[in-house]
Amino acid sequence: ALREIYFGKLGEATGYVGDSRGLPTSLKRISKDALATLPESGRKKYQVLAAGQVEIPPMPDLSDRKFVQNWKTADFTADLGFKASAKTLASGRQAFGVALCNRCHRFQGSGYALGPDLTGVARRFGRTDLLRAILLPSESIAQNYRTDVLDLSDGRNLSGQIIPTLDYRAPHLLLAENPLNPDQALKIPKVEVVKRKRSDFSIMPAGLLNNLNKQEILDLIAYLESSGN
């Protein structure tokens, strides 16, 4: 755990923007020396941390999943008073992956941080509001998670989420068009952006729960309430 924290902090520091031109070089040397002390078989994980990168969880096998229903919040009116169990949480953990939540959200230290961290989400939302936020992602969108629409000088119109970086002086923007593949970001020169505006639609697509049955969705809510414990 301490090793992960150490290399994670090195990764965070790589994005620092300051006055010292020598800092990035020094950090690379520190990382290189520290990584050299590790066995080669276990080095890749820490190389990713030290580089300030997080690996996106792999796509689950959805070949046996079929469309169940276009779920509405009203479908669960009589079902949200349930009590969670160990079996419920295990099913909810699986549903978290099937619904692709971990490809855009961090939860208990794992997942990809394209959207907000969900670890403490149950402290902010009750069950009804949490379910509604999942089923209707565009109903209420935090300003920093809105989709950006870019009009480019070559006539193209692109939409997606601008991936933030700490270097405001960078000559380009990183635009993730597909929220399910946030690592596939387009590098767009800032000088080519004619107009930039915010969309009224969330980058989180609707319908992510439509291949889950009702019990799996309730188990997912219980899992989010548990903070992964």
Q: Is residue 102 part of a domain?
A: yes
Distance CA 94, CA 223 (A): 9
In a domain, 77, yes or no: yes
Is 128 in the same domain as 220? yes
Predicted pLDDT at 192: 96
Give the integer Cα–Cα distance in Å for 56 and 110.
9
Highest mean pLDDT among 10-24, 119-133, 159-173: 119-133
pLDDT at res. 71: 98
Cβ neighbour number for residue 149 with a 10 Å cutoff? 15
Q: Is residue 61 part of a domain?
A: no
56 found inside a domain: no
Tell me whether residue 89 is in a domain.
yes
What's the burial of 54, exposed, middle or buried (CB within 10 Å: 0-12/13-18/19+)? middle
In a domain, 57, yes or no: no
Judge if 198 and 210 occupy the same domain: no
Q: Are residues 7 and 34 in the same domain?
A: yes
Domain identity same for 130 and 221: yes
CA angle 222, 183, 21 (to 5 degrees): 115
Look at residue 21 and tell me if it is in a domain: yes
Same domain flag for 108 and 148: no
Going by pLDDT thresholds of 50, 70 and 90, the confidence category of residue 146 is confident
Residue 160: is its pLDDT beyond 50?
yes
219 and 180 part of one domain = no
Residue 169 lies in a domain: yes
Whether pLDDT at 24 is above 70: no
Q: What is the pLDDT of residues 63-118, one digit of tens each?
A: 999 999 999 999 999 999 999 998 899 999 999 999 999 988 888 877 877 788 89
**How many domains does the chain divide into?**
3
- Report pLDDT for 129: 96
Angle at the Cα of 87 from the Cα atoms of 83 and 89, rounded to 5 degrees: 70
Among 56-65, 69-78, 138-147, the minimum mean pLDDT is found in 138-147
For residue 229 the two structure tokens come to 């414990």
Q: What is the CATH number of the domain that holds 104?
A: 1.10.760.10
SS3 string, the chain, reads CHHHHHHHHHHHHCCCCCCCCCHHHHHHHHHHHHHHCCCHHHHHHHHHHHCCCCCCCCCCCCCCCCCCCCCCHHHHCCCCCCCCCHHHHHHHHHHHHHCCHHHCCEECCEECCCCCCCCCHHHCCCHHHHHHHHHCCCCCCCHHHEEEEEEECCCCEEEEEECCCCCCCCCEEEEECCCCCCCCEEEEEHHHEEEEEEEEEECCCCCCCCCCCHHHHHHHHHHHHCCCC
Same domain, 100 and 112: yes
Whether residue 215 is found in the same domain as residue 167:
no
pLDDT in tens, 104-133: 888 887 787 778 889 889 999 999 999 999
Question: Tell me: the pLDDT tens digits for 198-209?
Answer: 888 888 889 999
Task: Write the pLDDT tens digit of every residue in 26-53.
Answer: 777 888 899 999 988 888 888 888 876 5
Q: Residue 166: pLDDT above 90?
A: no
Q: Which range of residues forms the domain containing residue 19?
A: 2-50
Are residues 153 and 185 part of one domain? yes
